[in-house]
Amino acid sequence: MRTTSLSSFLFTTLFVTASAPAADDDGKLRIICFGAHPDDCELQAGGVGALWSARGHHVKLVSVTNGDIGHWRDAGGPLARRRKAEAAKADEILGVTSEVLDIHDGELLPTLENRRTITRLIREWKADIVMSPRPNDYHPDHRYTGVLVQDAAYMVTVPFFCPDVPYLTHNPVFLYYPDQFEKPNPFMPDVAVSIDSVIEKKLDALDALESQFYEGGANGSAELLPSDPAKQQERHRAVRDGFAHRYQSQAQRFRAKLADFYGSDKAAGIKYAEGFEVCEYGRHPSQDELKKLFPFFGE
Amino acid sequence: MRTTSLSSFLFTTLFVTASAPAADDDGKLRIICFGAHPDDCELQAGGVGALWSARGHHVKLVSVTNGDIGHWRDAGGPLARRRKAEAAKADEILGVTSEVLDIHDGELLPTLENRRTITRLIREWKADIVMSPRPNDYHPDHRYTGVLVQDAAYMVTVPFFCPDVPYLTHNPVFLYYPDQFEKPNPFMPDVAVSIDSVIEKKLDALDALESQFYEGGANGSAELLPSDPAKQQERHRAVRDGFAHRYQSQAQRFRAKLADFYGSDKAAGIKYAEGFEVCEYGRHPSQDELKKLFPFFGE
Amino acid sequence: MRTTSLSSFLFTTLFVTASAPAADDDGKLRIICFGAHPDDCELQAGGVGALWSARGHHVKLVSVTNGDIGHWRDAGGPLARRRKAEAAKADEILGVTSEVLDIHDGELLPTLENRRTITRLIREWKADIVMSPRPNDYHPDHRYTGVLVQDAAYMVTVPFFCPDVPYLTHNPVFLYYPDQFEKPNPFMPDVAVSIDSVIEKKLDALDALESQFYEGGANGSAELLPSDPAKQQERHRAVRDGFAHRYQSQAQRFRAKLADFYGSDKAAGIKYAEGFEVCEYGRHPSQDELKKLFPFFGE
Amino acid sequence: MRTTSLSSFLFTTLFVTASAPAADDDGKLRIICFGAHPDDCELQAGGVGALWSARGHHVKLVSVTNGDIGHWRDAGGPLARRRKAEAAKADEILGVTSEVLDIHDGELLPTLENRRTITRLIREWKADIVMSPRPNDYHPDHRYTGVLVQDAAYMVTVPFFCPDVPYLTHNPVFLYYPDQFEKPNPFMPDVAVSIDSVIEKKLDALDALESQFYEGGANGSAELLPSDPAKQQERHRAVRDGFAHRYQSQAQRFRAKLADFYGSDKAAGIKYAEGFEVCEYGRHPSQDELKKLFPFFGE
Amino acid sequence: MRTTSLSSFLFTTLFVTASAPAADDDGKLRIICFGAHPDDCELQAGGVGALWSARGHHVKLVSVTNGDIGHWRDAGGPLARRRKAEAAKADEILGVTSEVLDIHDGELLPTLENRRTITRLIREWKADIVMSPRPNDYHPDHRYTGVLVQDAAYMVTVPFFCPDVPYLTHNPVFLYYPDQFEKPNPFMPDVAVSIDSVIEKKLDALDALESQFYEGGANGSAELLPSDPAKQQERHRAVRDGFAHRYQSQAQRFRAKLADFYGSDKAAGIKYAEGFEVCEYGRHPSQDELKKLFPFFGE
Amino acid sequence: MRTTSLSSFLFTTLFVTASAPAADDDGKLRIICFGAHPDDCELQAGGVGALWSARGHHVKLVSVTNGDIGHWRDAGGPLARRRKAEAAKADEILGVTSEVLDIHDGELLPTLENRRTITRLIREWKADIVMSPRPNDYHPDHRYTGVLVQDAAYMVTVPFFCPDVPYLTHNPVFLYYPDQFEKPNPFMPDVAVSIDSVIEKKLDALDALESQFYEGGANGSAELLPSDPAKQQERHRAVRDGFAHRYQSQAQRFRAKLADFYGSDKAAGIKYAEGFEVCEYGRHPSQDELKKLFPFFGE
């Protein structure tokens, strides 16, 4: 089963029919993002998701686990339901579709069942772009989400893997979210996007993920939660400022890549950014193709 | 259980008895190659396999899965049987032994059962050389074939792992096939071999893997298959030319390494090549040992 | 569940309460070391273990498998019991606590059950430091020990993963043992320690692991075992010399890092050393924090 | 977690709120039937399914595997697709909803993933009645379908098992299909139904499952398939007659139970029947409740 | 490995050394009871547990899962902790040792890891008697608890299964709890015990399992919980009365077996009872041996 | 996939072609027996195996585990090798083929990998008869051997389950060994055979399984092994007598069934016997067919 690599190296004109991003019937792009928990996609791709959505493209954020141990006080089914609702609210703010799989938080493994689930979700969304964490990250669920998406990356094109769901005739572009880890390789952005025009929307969405950021998630504590309304507002503000700062840092970190896509002048003025690295196991897009997939640069 | 690394670092003269490649009774080399599907070994090591075989050495090509989803029209047991027959035919052309394990294509996992199967195959073949894909590649079956062979790499020497099969008293050299992936590390050849003298044999063997290359395998389609005999012949020719081009590219890519083994002059004239990287988890051969294992350079 | 990385990047002062190494009630450090077999921890951290122990700190060495195929003549339960006794003896010499889990040697996999076991051991020890092999090494049990410890690295702080055992409110520092493998990255020491003052104790401890070093473990043979008492003593001496040489080589290899901690002059005189690399998935200690965790440099 | 059995034994009036069959919003019954392969439900419950459907009740037939080795010539994804289409056609004839899960035929195991899938299907259908094979039968897939449905039988009422899908507030009645096996207990019908009024519809539906009955499925052969159209028609007729005979035999076998529900006189005239045994692990219906669930007896 | 059955059939005097119940050093009996959830052991063996305990014998109740979905409102780790505390309180009332394993409720499977855990617990308790549910019951966790204890039943005597824990030199008596299921066989008591003298203690213990009985567990609802203190007391009373009635029913059901052990006259006056069936896979005790193991009949 | 049961109930003359026992090319019967450990087949079917073998029929005894914890002193690989050799010796005495699978003793589970292994062994032997323990027995390995053979019972006839091995066109007769367990059903012999003519051969074979019977296996001890040669001989005699007594008891237990096959007069004189029960999941042989499969009754 080497024909794919074969075709990409040698026979391109023979074997591959459609090389342009496969738009769905309505001519719009289709993007599916995987995160390990109901907040990961929003954190990593909430800005670009809002940008696509505002232009009529189709974006879906999938949490692969239900997040049911992601809090210092709550856990189990009640937390799973709360976080699903939080994600739904955040995703509504971003204008994107929301899905949370019912797999225990902290217990994700790269099984065949999970590989099939990921494969079907990508196919059913007829994705042009698939996003995920890298298979190296501090949380095992993040790592195994990365492994599962990698394991599905080629299989989405194989007709008789999951023959119950129509296969993709073109391979999507697979993109990684940024992280801070240096080994075995540091994250290297292949594309970076200004999210200045949607930063308030993104911060509103993150604000809706109350259990995680306002309350501190698994590493939080009761001390984070003031009872005094004025202090509560202050706490909301601190969280929001923290995130604003985070995406400013990202703009700084990805400045060179922003310049590649926006030109140096425009790039210099970008305050908030998101960036992504191309995974080698899906389609290898040219810079031109990336510009079609991220149709924001000329605006 | 550190004595192996211990011995390789410190005690070499004490603990390790035989350091020369362990030839079988007949004084010939013994090579076993693992691929994920019934075409991967032929693609990656068909040339060198034919070279060894022509000199009386013992070569076995093992497909770890049965390839039963590797087609756009056929699948399941009927395809598994067809591909097993194709591999048998190709391997007969190459003069090597053929084996196809009955594991579902697209469903290979690094289980203990599979680790034991790989370990037994290596031991039963009394291998001097073991080949496999790297554990990073675009297809999950390729990756997990790489993991499984790595997981067996030391265990083949441990007497009471699989005590039903005699263990190896020396560790084979484990070699990786080339691929195009850059992360976490690009493929770096440690040995490269001219396959000029067997290129027609290799192309004949690949031609026998009709379901994969003539028909296009999992990513093919009915459009690849002309009904007009003249066009059919043209299609055969196009596939053959594509492969000839592929191994020419490899000769180009591995030119420096060819020069290490053949000398620069001879290397410059090599048209078609295969190359391999030494896996760190088996025996670490010197260049001299490599020359004994690949006894083609002085010819 | 991004608050950890979030907090480490942005909110440090808000979310993280205790940043100093969490000493137990008695103000002493708590260290837990994981190895795949009943000899790996002793080989890699026996020196530093003896140093900590002599100063009243709490050190535990855990073998994740029972080592029951680690010999050329013996195996199974009888060998498991012998090796547990050997480790107990060696660890008594080093002054550290000994534990051997009853998992078959050669069969360790990164399951959820094993992840939970590792998580509970780290929590119950209230560890400030956790040591393990890297997830790349020649033996599959070494690699999967590394994966399991990585998979537990963040989970030890999550209250409702294993809610039956009190979670850690601070994340320990996770350290890797050295190895010789270059890919995907070579081992890079972040801290190195002179074991000159305990080298005899360490060599005594290794001498107690008779099945592995005197008898040669899985790769040994009857030829290693002289019946003549004079030759037996000679064999003991050869093993001991081999190990002394090994830790001299390590001092040489880690000389620059020794200089960072001891100053160049003192470092130049160090004969035997152990070194460790910080794993990115636990706490990222500053050099100052490392000096508190390894309180040997000013002595 | 004994309150269910507790409530059924002691506290009935306290704990259990709704004891009547829980009709959906439209006041109609809701039935879900599980079979191992795309023909098992139709064979066992096609008649009663057609009866319910004709009265506006909601019936769903689920094949737990995709049937992809159920033929002597075809297999894999192509067969899976063919059988899914056959089941869809048969179920359309019967007037019921059709679903085929994509699990390999011959490889069904009672995993947690499968237990969750069955639980969700029962809940989403808001079933009053659930049908399955007994956990003793000649085919392992039949047995494990029985085990899986048993394993889901109580869990459908537990709110935080699969908290992503609303749980059932009443436990459905679980019924077994008949089989011929005597050990550990023979099948004992608790209810039997005349299918005289729908026998032609049922035989038409079975006729649509061409791969299985006309062609003989896994135990068929090319000899079963005449090329002569007259003989083909004869073959169709023979299959149809065989099935008519089968359901006549069942009427004979279940005559006493038919008399319990229809009265002796009417029962004596029934030609074709289906029968079912109540599984002890779901709701234990009274005869009156059975008459409401099978509202055919007074007609 | 037939010597056990062999010895029981043929060689009894040769092979089996100790046939009396193996009392521990202090001459007291040692009993370990397994239930699926933190309330099952208390419900089934709370009375006899209190009887043994009052006479100085050693009783341990183990919940194999943590019960973390056993409520209509709460779930996950917080519920697991609450139920562990409830069980601890109930078991303190009964005078027995309490243990709750941290396995998810609703997800117990008969894995090797779990078999080993059960084996170790039986061995470490040096049990004379082991109790469990039958492998047929309405809840999958109950069934698989039964399977796991069966799977450990012989292995507790095999030295090199779990060689890290001393094996038992005599096989304990394994007993099943009663249930209401008729297939494949109805529960048949081999011993029945009056719990009249401890009924208040048992009802107090069950009252402490508040989440399950007062609040209704997984099948309860907010309606069960009155806010009016008078009604709360009434609710407590209703639960208590329900249980009193349950054990009265059991006395009625097991009257004949009570007569076997107490004589008909005394048996006729017994109000509350518990009963147990001997599992065929452990020691087969004579009635005399049962009288030594349940030393209550002559009192 | 109901056509098998369908055909057996309704269509027999249509679908099933060969109903006579499928003799191999040489016209001889082919029998394969599965036991859990290297002694179980010999104990249960050693006599009838010797009878068949002496008449030129083909008998294979397969131990599904390697027996590596079946001793009180030895374990692991060394014991596995010893027991394999013992079985080979015993089977040579009986004149049958010997195979021992390398699966850990005490760790057999009904996995798909094991189901496939059993299926292939039955097919490769082209078995007319398959024997196994019942799925209810005191040892978990016995039970799961029974489950695995049941799970293979129909699959041996399905062409595309294990498409790499030719399937059986007729279903073998599956037979159970006797045991003493009453629940859910007692063992009921369908055929019983006099082993008087081979009793010495059988006792010799059992004597060769020295680790199990002379030394006592897992439940033995050093006390069983006298050092005095006279007492050793006495011990051998006691074991032999014990077994002779066991098969006498079986003759007594199966007397009625012996009469069915030998006539009452001849049956009354039979001293030693073996008996077997037909498993419902394979072919259902008539008494006439049983007489052809056990061609000993008229002799």
Q: Percent of chain A having pLDDT more than 90?
A: 91
Contact of C182 with chain B, judged by CB distance below 8 Å, is answered with yes
How many Å separate Cα B164 from the centre of its chain?
26
Q: CA–CA separation, E280 vs E149, rounded Å?
A: 12
Predicted structure pTM score: 0.94
Tokens 């899965």 belong to residue: B65
Q: CA–CA separation, F2 vs F4, rounded Å?
A: 5
Amino acid at D202: K
Cβ contact B14:B40 at 8 Å: no
**All chains having 3 or more CB pairs closer than 8 angstroms to chain E:** A, C, D, F
- Compute the nearest-CA separation of E68 from chain A (Å): 8
**All chains having 3 or more CB pairs closer than 8 angstroms to chain D:** A, B, E, F
Report how far apart, in Å, the C-alpha atoms of B134 and of each of B128, B146, B191, D276, F210 are. Answer: 19, 5, 15, 55, 48
| F220 with E15: Cβ contact below 8 A | yes
Cβ contact D90:D99 at 8 Å: no
DSSP E115-165: HHHHHHHHHHTT-SEEEE--S-SSSHHHHHHHHHHHHHHTGGG-TTSSTTS
- Compute the nearest-CA separation of F83 from chain E (Å): 11
Residues in D touching E216 (Cβ below 8 Å): 3, 15
- Give the E-state strand segments of chain B in sequence order: 30-35, 58-63, 97-100, 129-132, 173-176, 191-194, 273-278
| C164 with E78: Cβ contact below 8 A | no
Is the confidence at residue A124, as pLDDT, over 80? yes
Residues in B touching A130 (Cβ below 8 Å): none
Name the pLDDT band for E127 (thresholds 50, 70, 90): very high
| F1 with D138: Cβ contact below 8 A | no
Cβ contact F202:F46 at 8 Å: yes
Query: Among A214-218, B8-12, C257-261, D149-153, where is mean pLDDT lowest?
Result: B8-12
Q: How far apart are the first and last CA of chain F?
A: 42
Q: What is the mean pLDDT of residues C272-283?
A: 97
* 3-state DSSP assignment of residue E290: helix
Q: Provide CB contacts within 8 A for F200, sequence distance 6+.
A: none
- Give the E-state strand segments of F65-211 in sequence order: 97-100, 129-132, 173-176, 191-194
Cβ contact B297:B259 at 8 Å: no
Measured in degrees and rounded to the nearest 5, phi and psi for residue C3 equal -65, -30
pLDDT at A299: 77
Measured in degrees and rounded to the nearest 5, phi and psi for residue F206 equal -65, -35
Residues in D touching A107 (Cβ below 8 Å): none
DSSP state, residue D9: I
The answer to whether ipTM exceeds 0.90 is yes
* 3-state DSSP assignment of residue B110: coil
**All chains having 3 or more CB pairs closer than 8 angstroms to chain C:** A, B, E, F
Contact of E105 with chain A, judged by CB distance below 8 Å, is answered with no
DSSP D140-198: HHHHHHHHHHHHHHTGGG-TTSSTTSPPPSSPPEEEEPP----SS-----SEEEE-GGG
Beta bridge partners of B63: B35, B100
| A69 with C160: Cβ contact below 8 A | yes
The pLDDT tens digits of the residues spanning C191-218 come to 999 999 999 999 999 999 999 999 999 9
Burial class (CB in 10 A: 0-12, 13-18, 19+), D239: buried
Q: CA–CA separation, E261 vs A172, rounded Å?
A: 75
CA angle in degrees (0–180, nearest 5) for C197-C202-C207:
145
Q: CA–CA separation, F88 vs A125, rounded Å?
A: 59
- Count of A-E CB contacts under 8 Å: 27
Q: Provide CB contacts within 8 A for B199, sequence distance 6+.
A: B47, B244, B247, B271, B272
Q: Rounded to a whole number, what is the largest CA-CA distance in chain E?
A: 69
Contact of D166 with chain B, judged by CB distance below 8 Å, is answered with no
The pLDDT tens digits of the residues spanning B78-129 come to 999 999 999 999 999 999 999 999 999 999 999 999 999 999 999 999 999 9
Chains D and C touch (3+ CB pairs under 8 A): no
How many Å separate Cα A24 from the centre of its chain?
20
The pLDDT tens digits of the residues spanning E59-90 come to 999 999 999 999 999 999 999 999 999 999 99
pLDDT at F13: 29
pLDDT at F218: 97
Using alpha carbons, select from E146, E81, E53 the residue that is nearest to residue E108: E146
Residues in D touching F114 (Cβ below 8 Å): none
Name the pLDDT band for E269 (thresholds 50, 70, 90): very high
Q: Which of A73, A74, A76 sits opposite E68 (nearest CB)?
A: A76
Contact of C6 with chain A, judged by CB distance below 8 Å, is answered with yes
Name the pLDDT band for C10 (thresholds 50, 70, 90): very low
Q: CA–CA separation, D23 vs D29, rounded Å?
A: 5
Is the confidence at residue C31, as pLDDT, over 60? yes
Chains A and D touch (3+ CB pairs under 8 A): yes
**All chains having 3 or more CB pairs closer than 8 angstroms to chain A:** B, C, D, E
Name the pLDDT band for C15 (thresholds 50, 70, 90): very low
* 3-state DSSP assignment of residue C36: coil
Contact of A97 with chain B, judged by CB distance below 8 Å, is answered with no
Two structure tokens written together for F222: 């050093």
Contact of B78 with chain D, judged by CB distance below 8 Å, is answered with yes
Is the confidence at residue D264, as pLDDT, over 90? yes
- Compute the nearest-CA separation of B299 from chain A (Å): 31
Is the confidence at residue D143, as pLDDT, over 70? yes
| Mean pLDDT score of chain B | 92
Tokens 């019983």 belong to residue: F192
Q: CA–CA separation, A193 vs A297, rounded Å?
A: 8
- Compute the nearest-CA separation of A3 from chain B (Å): 7
Residues in B touching D104 (Cβ below 8 Å): 104
Q: What is the mean pLDDT of residues B209-234?
A: 95
Q: Rounded to a whole number, what is the largest CA-CA distance in chain C?
A: 69
Residues 17-76 in A contacting E (C-alpha not used; CB under 8 Å): 68-69, 73-76
pLDDT at A25: 78
Q: CA–CA separation, D172 vs F232, rounded Å?
A: 66
Using alpha carbons, select from F84, F103, F279, F267 the residue that is nearest to residue F177: F279
- In this structure, chain A runs to a length of 299
Chain E residue closest to D184 (CA)? E184
pLDDT at D104: 98
Q: CA–CA separation, C290 vs C279, rounded Å?
A: 13
**Order of all β-strands in the sheet with A273-278:** A97-100, A58-63, A30-35, A129-132, A173-176, A273-278, A191-194
Cβ contact A79:A115 at 8 Å: no
Report how far apart, in Å, the C-alpha atoms of E169 and of each of C82, E122, F107 are. Answer: 21, 12, 21
| A9 with B183: Cβ contact below 8 A | no
Name the pLDDT band for D215 (thresholds 50, 70, 90): very high
Q: CA–CA separation, B173 vs B284, rounded Å?
A: 7
pLDDT at F14: 30
**All chains having 3 or more CB pairs closer than 8 angstroms to chain B:** A, C, D, F
Instruction: Bin B193: left if φ > 0, else alpha if -120 < ψ < 50, else beta.
Output: beta
The pLDDT tens digits of the residues spanning E28-48 come to 999 999 999 999 999 999 999
| F76 with C73: Cβ contact below 8 A | no
Q: Which of F69, F76, F104 sits opposite C79 (nearest CB)?
A: F76
| A71 with C160: Cβ contact below 8 A | yes
Tokens 């069936």 belong to residue: E277
CA angle in degrees (0–180, nearest 5) for E260-E263-E264:
100
Using alpha carbons, select from E178, F184, E152, E151 the residue that is nearest to residue D134: F184
- Compute the nearest-CA separation of F58 from chain C (Å): 35
Name the pLDDT band for D18 (thresholds 50, 70, 90): very low
- Compute the nearest-CA separation of E68 from chain D (Å): 9
Using alpha carbons, select from E77, E249, E97, E128 the residue that is nearest to residue E180: E249
Contact of D87 with chain A, judged by CB distance below 8 Å, is answered with no
| D76 with B78: Cβ contact below 8 A | yes
pLDDT at E83: 98
Please report, to the nearest 10 degrees, the dihedral formed by the alpha carbons of residues B6, B7, B13, B19 taken in order.
-160
Contact of F246 with chain C, judged by CB distance below 8 Å, is answered with no
Beta bridge partners of D276: D191
Chains E and B touch (3+ CB pairs under 8 A): no
Contact of F135 with chain E, judged by CB distance below 8 Å, is answered with no
C-alpha count within 13 angstroms, C-beta hemisphere, residue A276: 30
Contact of C162 with chain E, judged by CB distance below 8 Å, is answered with yes
More confident residue, E209 or F14: E209
CA angle in degrees (0–180, nearest 5) for C255-C257-C261:
110
- Give the E-state strand segments of chain D in sequence order: 30-35, 58-63, 97-100, 129-132, 173-176, 191-194, 273-278
pLDDT at B189: 98
pLDDT at D298: 82
| F75 with C74: Cβ contact below 8 A | no
- Compute the nearest-CA separation of C76 from chain F (Å): 4
pLDDT at F10: 33
Contact of B105 with chain A, judged by CB distance below 8 Å, is answered with yes
Q: CA–CA separation, B242 vs F94, rounded Å?
A: 61
Residues in E touching A69 (Cβ below 8 Å): 76-77
How many Å separate Cα F119 from the centre of its chain?
16
Q: How many CB atoms lie within 10 A of CB F157?
A: 21
Q: CA–CA separation, F295 vs F278, rounded Å?
A: 17
* 3-state DSSP assignment of residue A138: coil
Q: What is the mean pLDDT of residues D1-13?
A: 36
- Count of B-C CB contacts under 8 Å: 99
| B2 with C39: Cβ contact below 8 A | yes
Chain C residue closest to B282 (CA)? C138
Q: Which of E79, E83, E102 to mutate to test the interface with A (most CBs of A within 10 A)?
A: E79
Q: What is the mean pLDDT of residues D110-114?
A: 98
Going residue by residue through chain F (299 aa), what tens digit of pLDDT does each one get? 333 333 333 333 233 333 334 445 799 999 999 999 999 999 999 999 999 999 999 999 999 999 999 999 999 999 999 999 999 999 999 999 999 999 999 999 999 999 999 999 999 999 999 999 999 999 999 999 999 999 999 999 999 999 999 999 999 999 999 999 999 999 999 999 999 999 999 999 999 999 999 999 999 999 999 999 999 999 999 999 999 999 999 999 999 999 999 999 999 999 999 999 999 999 999 999 999 999 999 87
Contact of B116 with chain F, judged by CB distance below 8 Å, is answered with yes
Residues in B touching A186 (Cβ below 8 Å): none
The pLDDT tens digits of the residues spanning D152-179 come to 999 999 999 999 999 999 999 999 999 9
Q: In this structure, are strands C30-35 and C97-100 parallel, antiparallel, or unpaired?
A: unpaired
- Compute the nearest-CA separation of B152 from chain D (Å): 27
Using alpha carbons, select from F257, F185, E146, E179 the residue that is nearest to residue D186: F185
- Count of D-F CB contacts under 8 Å: 99
How many Å separate Cα D93 from the centre of its chain?
16
Tokens 């000398």 belong to residue: B263
Cβ contact F127:F97 at 8 Å: no
Measured in degrees and rounded to the nearest 5, phi and psi for residue C146 equal -60, -45
| C78 with E164: Cβ contact below 8 A | no
